[in-house]
Amino acid sequence: MTIALKAETKKYQRFFKTMGFCLGIFAMTLVSTMILPMRSAHAEKQVTVGVLVPLTGELGEFGTVVARSIELGVKQINTAGGTTCGKIRLVTRDTHGNPERGIREATKMIESEGAVAVIGPESGVMVALVDLAKRKKTVIMSPYAGTITLNKLGGDFVYRTVSSDLGDGDASGMWLTEKGYKKVAFLVQNEESTISPAQVAKKIVEKSGMKLTDFVIFNPGQPSYQAELISVLAHNPDAIYLAGGQQSGVTVIKEATSGGFAGEWLFTADLAVPEVFDNVGAEHINGRAYVEFADADRSLPEFKAFEKLYREEEGKEPGPFASNSFDMINLVALAIEASGQCSGSGINSAIRDVADGGSVVTTFAEGKAALAKGMNINFEGASGPLKFDKSGGVSGAYSIQAAKNGKWANEKFYPASVFKN
Amino acid sequence: MNWLQVILTVVTIGSIFSVVTLALNLQYARGGMINFGVVAYFAAGAYIYAIFTHPAPEGLDQYIIGLDWPWWAGFIAAGIASLLFAVLTGWPTLRLRGEYLAVTTFAFAEVLYSFLLNERRIGNGAVGLSNIERPIRDWGTIDEKYIFAIVAVALMFLTAWIFRKLLNSPYGRALDAIRDDEGAAQAIGKSAKRMRLQVFLLSAIPIGFAGALYAMYMTLVSPRLFTAEVSFIVWIALVLGGERTIWGAMAGTFGLILLEEVITSLPFESVSAAQNAAAMNHVVTGLLFIAVLRWQPFEWISKKLEKK
């Protein structure tokens, strides 16, 4: 009996040793990137902001751009002395593009890390977090969640520095009309963020008298989209409007090209990343593909200043929604400064005021100085003026870029004033 | 790392998923039925709870039914919906055995997933229904997260108690007899077909309740919450904990959720650290699975608990 017990004990000692070994590898891999920030975290007064972005999956490229832009903003804010609650400390996590994971990670950020705001989620996760944000009185904010569901749910603790998907649909519809195509087909991924703008663009296309040959909704994650493409290619459209993710979209483009499609493309924002040229093959889309996305007015001095900073720090041009992300963290910091409260409620009470209705400021440092003098401020950031509407969104401008020499190049800019909604 | 928060999440999510594992344990380990579509009954409960408690559609909503009934009506309806879905799927499929039943139940789950994803009039399609009624609120100074954990644990123990009573009764012994030797059991008058269907239906009810509780906890129902991954997680939990024991089903589920939570609970203060963690996550999880399957500690724990 004693021998058996000893054998059992040894067996489980080995198990726990192996488990410890595995966790040890994990910890050691991360220690080099964590140790310095952790040391500084305990050294001074800080306020925590959660960065909840998709670092993997269909939107992984966007998530990385967003998180890096937020880091740039924090660097600038902390260099300016931080907020009244101390310097900003970021806690970054991956949503994996999964709402359930998003809820669990956001809960940890709020409950365990004391985050006063959770910023950066994509549409599906933003919608999932609305109830949590209101219950926990923590601000959630996104630089690219255009979903029309937030037109109803947003406004209190829920904000975004990008306009609704309805604007994307308008811009796409306008571009297709201006190009003078005779026949257009729509291929739309089965997601809220792709279907809602597609429906708006479809209405504009139909109204213009253009022939809509197909409106196909496809599910992401399929190994092939041949079945969806049969009818589309049979009608030989002049252009295909493709609202797809970075994985499914690439497969659709490749299969349509190998299927003999020789017309033009209009992609939506998910494909507005440089990686699409490597993944598809630049020769297949150069000169015949365009992409539409919510964009800053690149002629604004605030954008130019941000672009310069981004180039210096990252060594490349700012990606899609980089300026919206940079503005988002600045707004959070200014709201903390204006309210003087280190809480989500404090940010929620002041965020609209700092975005509209006082002296124009373009950086956190300017805003902090103006607030210290007792002035009201109006933050106008790199992505343009940021006046929140009732649902916590802003009006936005849109760009069309063309595929030229393996890069996206500016083709057309639609300022916010063009749109009615 | 805030261990209290980790423990609360493990207790709450672990208890909800334990209910599903317990039901699967009853179906597979005692009833001899391989159900690879267990997520479908979980989803049915969650969606019906959402539809019963959600307000009527307005504005941009695409779903057409929102009854706005109280939470308890939705909770009861969730159990009934799961039962009805089990009738719908169990009646034509339970004549199948082994891998044929596994594939068929998996197919039913995929059909339901595809239906929820593409039929926007049921639950808003891919975006799902958000702001689901959450009846559990703070009790005085006690935070709702503790109350939620208590409710989830209570549902788990109630399910375990009922299943234990059932399996220790003559009915449970008849079930074991059918599993061990169907021909001999039928020779003494036990109807294998009828008893399998009864077990299948009975085990679906708590899965529906667990689905409703999950919808309350998440305050969201969306097809992405109910992918085949959920079925595989529950199966892995059952394997980890060791089949045929109630404690094993629970220990395996808690162990699995604990591993996941501990791995994802480290705070990362830079993008590169978070990216490294995302890349390492699956590797570490895989190594831990290998270690757990090699030494099977949860099965050992469950056997100790069973002996008591």
Q: Give mean pLDDT in consecutive 10-residue pieces for chain A, a chain of 421 residues.
A: 56 55 49 44 79 86 91 95 94 88 90 93 90 93 89 90 89 94 94 84 92 92 91 95 91 93 93 89 93 88 93 89 94 96 95 91 94 93 89 90 93 84 50
Residues B273, A124: C-beta atoms closer than 8 Å: no
Find the largest Cα–Cα distance for chain B: 68
Partners of A92 on chain B (C-beta within 8 Å) are: 268-271, 273-274
Q: What is the pLDDT of residue A216?
A: 94
* Mutation target among A149, A153, A156 for the B interface, most CBs of B within 10 A: A149
Out of B220, B263, B265, the one facing A128 most closely (by C-beta) is B220
Out of B132, B145, B276, the one facing A29 most closely (by C-beta) is B276
Residues B271, A55: C-beta atoms closer than 8 Å: yes
> Residues with Cβ < 8 Å from A284, sequence gap 6 or more?
A253, A254, A257
Phi and psi for A260 in degrees, rounded to 5? 100, 10
Distance from CA of A216 to the nearest CA of B (A): 12
Out of B59, B218, B277, the one facing A100 most closely (by C-beta) is B218
Question: For chain B, how many residues are written?
Answer: 308
Q: What is the pLDDT of residue B248?
A: 85
Out of A29, A89, A131, the one facing B280 most closely (by C-beta) is A29
Q: What is the pLDDT of residue A39?
A: 44
Find, among B104, B100, B136, B108, the residue nearest to B44 by Cα: B108
> Residues with Cβ < 8 Å from A211, sequence gap 6 or more?
A182, A183, A184
Residues B277, A113: C-beta atoms closer than 8 Å: no
Residues A25, B287: C-beta atoms closer than 8 Å: yes
Q: Are A318 and A307 in contact (CB under 8 A)?
A: yes
Distance between CA A329 and CA A197 in Å, rounded? Answer: 27
Residue of B nearest to A95 (CA): B278
Handedness of CA A331, A335, A341, A347 (dihedral sign): negative
Residues B265, A192: C-beta atoms closer than 8 Å: no
Residues A64, B224: C-beta atoms closer than 8 Å: no
> Residues with Cβ < 8 Å from B152, sequence gap 6 or more?
B11, B12, B13, B15, B16, B213, B217
Mark A353-390 as b/e (b = at least 16 C-beta within 10 Å). bbbbebeebbbbebbbebbeeeeebbbbbbbbbbebee
State the amino acid at position A171 in one-letter form.
Answer: A
Out of B61, B265, B292, the one facing A108 most closely (by C-beta) is B265
Out of B128, B284, B297, the one facing A22 most closely (by C-beta) is B284
Residue of B nearest to A189 (CA): B126
Residues A55, B270: C-beta atoms closer than 8 Å: no
Residue of B nearest to A104 (CA): B9
Out of A67, A100, A192, the one facing B127 most closely (by C-beta) is A192
Out of B145, B274, B284, the one facing A94 most closely (by C-beta) is B274
Phi and psi for A349 in degrees, rounded to 5? -75, -25
- pTM summary value: 0.81
Distance between CA B248 and CA B25 in Å, rounded? Answer: 9
Q: Are A55 and A63 in contact (CB under 8 A)?
A: yes
Residues A127, B127: C-beta atoms closer than 8 Å: yes
Residue of B nearest to A130 (CA): B131
In the three-class reduction of DSSP (H, G, I as helix; E, B as strand; rest coil), residue A46 is classed as strand
Residue of A nearest to B119 (CA): A190
Residue A257: how many other CB atoms lie within 10 Å: 17
Q: Give the relative orientation of helices B38-53 and B228-241 as an angle to the nearest 10 degrees.
A: 120
Distance between CA B257 and CA B160 in Å, rounded? Answer: 19
Q: What is the DSSP letter of B127?
A: G
Partners of A191 on chain B (C-beta within 8 Å) are: 126-127
Q: What is the pLDDT of residue B138?
A: 65
> Residues with Cβ < 8 Å from B96, sequence gap 6 or more?
B104
Residue B227: how many other CB atoms lie within 10 Å: 18
Partners of B144 on chain A (C-beta within 8 Å) are: 135
Find, among A57, A266, A103, A217, the residue nearest to B126 by Cα: A217
Q: What is the pLDDT of residue B16?
A: 96
Partners of A25 on chain B (C-beta within 8 Å) are: 284, 287
Residues B145, A111: C-beta atoms closer than 8 Å: yes
Distance between CA A301 and CA A279 in Å, rounded? Answer: 34
Q: What is the pLDDT of residue A86?
A: 94
Residues B130, A130: C-beta atoms closer than 8 Å: yes
In this structure, the dihedral spanned by the alpha carbons of residues A96, A101, A105 and A108, taken in order and rounded to 10 degrees, is -160
Residues A99, B117: C-beta atoms closer than 8 Å: no
Q: Are B23 and B86 in contact (CB under 8 A)?
A: no
Residue of B nearest to A36 (CA): B269
In chain A the domains, ranked by start, together with CATH numbers, are: 46-164+301-397 (3.40.50.2300), 166-298+401-418 (3.40.50.2300)
Q: Are A326 and A70 in contact (CB under 8 A)?
A: yes
Distance from CA of B127 to the nearest CA of A (A): 6
Partners of B274 on chain A (C-beta within 8 Å) are: 51, 55, 67, 92-94
User: What are the strands, taking DSSP E only, across chain B?
Assistant: 129-130, 220-221
Bridge partner list, A323? none
Residues A23, B269: C-beta atoms closer than 8 Å: no
Q: Are A269 and A294 in contact (CB under 8 A)?
A: yes
Residues A92, B128: C-beta atoms closer than 8 Å: no
Question: For chain A, how many residues are written?
Answer: 421
Q: Are A161 and A331 in contact (CB under 8 A)?
A: yes
* Mutation target among B121, B138, B257, B268 for the A interface, most CBs of A within 10 A: B268
Q: What is the pLDDT of residue B187?
A: 87
Q: What is the pLDDT of residue B70?
A: 93
Q: State chain B's mean pLDDT as an integer.
A: 87
Displacement of CA B262 from its chain's centroid (Å):
21
Q: Compute mean pLDDT per 10 residues along chain B, 308 residues long, and list them.
A: 83 96 90 91 97 85 88 96 94 82 92 90 86 78 87 96 91 87 85 89 96 94 91 88 81 87 77 78 77 74 67
Q: What is the pLDDT of residue B288?
A: 75
Residue of A nearest to B137 (CA): A135
Q: How much of chain B is in helix, strand and coil states, percent to nearest 5?
A: 75, 0, 20
Distance between CA B126 and CA A307 in Å, rounded? Answer: 35
Handedness of CA B37, B42, B45, B51 (dihedral sign): negative
**Token pair 């998440």 is at which residue?**
B218
In this structure, the dihedral spanned by the alpha carbons of residues A22, A26, A27 and A33, taken in order and rounded to 10 degrees, is 170
Residues B9, A108: C-beta atoms closer than 8 Å: yes
Residue of A nearest to B115 (CA): A219
Q: Are A249 and A242 in contact (CB under 8 A)?
A: yes
Distances in Å between the Cα of B225 and the Cα atoms of B57, B192, B208 are 22, 34, 15
Distance between CA B7 and CA B4 in Å, rounded? Answer: 5
